[in-house]
Structure 1
Amino acid sequence: MNAETAYAELRSHWGERVKRNERLSRHSTFGVGGPADVWVSLETCEDVQGLVAICAEHRWPVLFVGNGTNLLFADAGVRGIVARIAINGYTIEDHGDGTALLVAGAGVSWPRLLNELAALGWAGLEFGPGIPGTLGGGVISSAGAHGSDLGQVLEWVSVLDARQCAEYPVAPVVCRYQRAELELGYRHSRFRAQRRVQFDEDGYPIATPHKLIEPAEIVTQLGVRLHRADSQQLRTLIEEYKLHRKRTQPPQQSAGSVFKNPAGDHAGRLIEAAGLKGMMHGRAQISERHANFIVNLGGASAADVAALIREAHNRVWERFCIDLELEVELRGEWKVP
């Protein structure tokens, strides 16, 4: 891909929302990552369809992202186009029987939304004030906390299916998956199954292979069940959850939980029992507050974070014979040390 040509073409469609050599550290909760050749923010489903069509026609690689909550971008950045899904609108369809359907864009911020819903007396997502990502990103891993998760209230998901576009310059297809079709489980959905991170023989996490359009099924909108509740009680519960997060999770930049909890145990307990709590590599650290968090102490590199991921994965395997599954995805131009 000729980055200047792609930049000029996208600029003609989306103007100031298109940037050249945008630092991805600005779009990752880890606060690390090099430049994207071209960056664009997409605010409507039509924007997403348009970009997929352009990339399919010109054979330009594109990576769609949300808030960068579960992404570790390489220090060398990402070649091609990185497109942020910023579809932020939502509507509430009141059924008149104490229930409603929330129809929300994939780019809606979880913390912002649940506070607005609480003020209106609608419950269903109040468990998530500590989830920093978007609703669309939450679908991928069925994000949750405090014994609840998105999968429990999700009704359907609209996606832009671009799987054929990777082979032929054809228009992407809009389709809708009902809840039963999403294969929802603990930190899992049908979309997550396509993106599980593997480790090489030395224990280094392997970056997701480059594809023309990634992911090939792009979440654009979702429907969520809501029910009536007392606004003040919802606000109180949300504040309790926020305080719990402050007590139990580190304040520094991080991507949240690094590994999924294995059946019957907790990844943080295993990492701590392996003697790694507080371990540092460069300016990254396995948190002293919660061992399943890797934090940026200021000035960390993506390579620092990846080194700690490797160490935690290897040490837990060596000591407990448990193969921890990574929640974080590696993207970009990675080189194994």
Structure 2
Amino acid sequence: MTFDIDTALPILQERFGERIRRNELLSRHCTFGVGGPADIWMKVEKRQDLIDLVTLCSKHRWPILFTGNGTNVLYADAGVRGIVAQIALTSYTIEEQTDGTALLQAGAGVSWPSLLNDLAAKGWGGLEFGPGIPGTLGGAVISNAGAHKGELGQVLEWVDVLDARLCEETPIEPEVVRYPHADLALSYRHSRFRAHRRVQFDEDGYPVAAPRRLIEPAEVIMEVGVRLHRDDPQTLKAKISEYKHHRKVTQPPQKSAGSVFKNPPGDFSARLIEMAGIKGLQIGKAQISERHANFIVNLGGAQAADVAALIREAHNRVLEQFGVNLELEVELRGEWKVAPLS
């Protein structure tokens, strides 16, 4: 997959102006604080801009990677070739229904923690379990994010996506499709949008990035519909405060991408990693957190390769000692070793 930055740059600048940045370090755009440059980086703030961008990439065969706030991603030290576009659709509305509930219609770039303050003040419950989920609502759909016995799938009604799957083969304009709840294949830390993003491990135990498409992902989440219910504002604020405190005392303060591995059935990844004897293990400036073993933290100046090496060590040790094949929750993006197409 080739990309000529000098050809693409003036075309993109003509359409999107000063939003286009060249050789932007991705370490500035992810919570791990690691990652090399994107050839071109931009922020997409309007639905029509998103449609136009995908159409341009399909026409010119430019590789593009769409991302959110970078809370669940490990960018390679070599960066990402082509275009990286952050989904920043941040508007939302609350439509009260006759049955005492409300429908929240929110852009995929809306920050979950920021949204909660507004909902609580207005007495709308449904998402209060997630103040410790640092990402966007769009990113939360992909992994069916959850905490404190709640998950997004419990209140999610529909998702609007920009379907660019046919653009891979033919330079055409993508279409907007709405998936109802029943078509989202939601389960523990999984949705229909996760199926093609799973990271594998090679014979030596190193994480291997999923194959990259021309337009990645091929179904770009644009907007979500969430069912809310009436609740007492003070009760909601108290719950949010309690959950924030829990996060503060149980999770490390350093830069990280949250939980590295999914919990296996009937157990906890953190417990297995700690029992394997590698809690606190450090490679370079990355460390398996001393506070929570399912977090890898950046102690300052870490490289993506350091994080990947710790992922390998944790995965291998748990597999060897307990026979449990931990599944990676963090996604690898950029110039990594890539798994063969299946």
Q: Same fold (TM over 0.5)?
A: yes
Q: Specify the code of the residue in structure 2 equivalent to 1:192.
A: R
246, 249, 253: which one aligns with 2:248: 246
Aligned counterparts, 1:64-83, within 5 A: 64-83=66-85
Offset at residue 247 of structure 1 (A) = 0.7
207, 210, 213: which one aligns with 2:209: 207
Q: Aligned partners of 2:182, 2:128: CA distance in 1, in Å?
A: 23
Count of matched residue positions in the alignment of Structure 1 and Structure 2: 336
Partner of 1:193, secondary structure, is coil
Partner of 1:251, secondary structure, is coil
Aligned counterparts, 1:1-337, within 5 A: 1-334=3-336
Partner of 2:70, secondary structure, is coil
Q: Aligned partners of 1:144, 1:272: CA distance in 2, in Å?
A: 23
Q: Specify the code of the residue in structure 1 equivalent to 2:260.
A: V
Gaps of 5+ in 1: none
Q: Aligned partners of 1:96, 1:190: CA distance in 2, in Å?
A: 31
Partner of 1:72, secondary structure, is strand
Q: Which string of whole-angstrom CA distances, capped at 9 and with x for unpartnered residues, describes residues 46-100 of structure 1?
A: 1111110000000000000000111100001000000000000000010033200
Q: Aligned partners of 1:155, 1:47: CA distance in 2, in Å?
A: 25
Q: Which string of whole-angstrom CA distances, capped at 9 and with x for unpartnered residues, describes residues 99-152 of structure 1?
A: 000000000001000111101110011111111100000000000000000000
Q: Aligned partners of 2:210, 2:36: CA distance in 1, in Å?
A: 16
Retained in 1: the 8 A contact 2:111–2:136? Answer: yes
Q: Aligned partners of 1:9, 1:20: CA distance in 2, in Å?
A: 13
Offset at residue 8 of structure 1 (A) = 1.6
TM-score normalized with structure 2 length: 0.97
Offset at residue 335 of structure 1 (A) = 5.1
Q: Aligned partners of 2:212, 2:145: CA distance in 1, in Å?
A: 25
Retained in 1: the 8 A contact 2:23–2:38? Answer: yes
Retained in 1: the 8 A contact 2:196–2:210? Answer: no
Q: Aligned partners of 1:87, 1:240: CA distance in 2, in Å?
A: 29
Retained in 1: the 8 A contact 2:208–2:337? Answer: no
Runs of 4+ more than 3 Å apart: none
Retained in 1: the 8 A contact 2:261–2:269? Answer: yes
Retained in 2: the 8 A contact 1:6–1:38? Answer: no
Q: Aligned partners of 1:66, 1:12: CA distance in 2, in Å?
A: 24
Backbone CA RMSD of aligned residues: 0.9
Q: Aligned partners of 1:14, 1:118: CA distance in 2, in Å?
A: 36
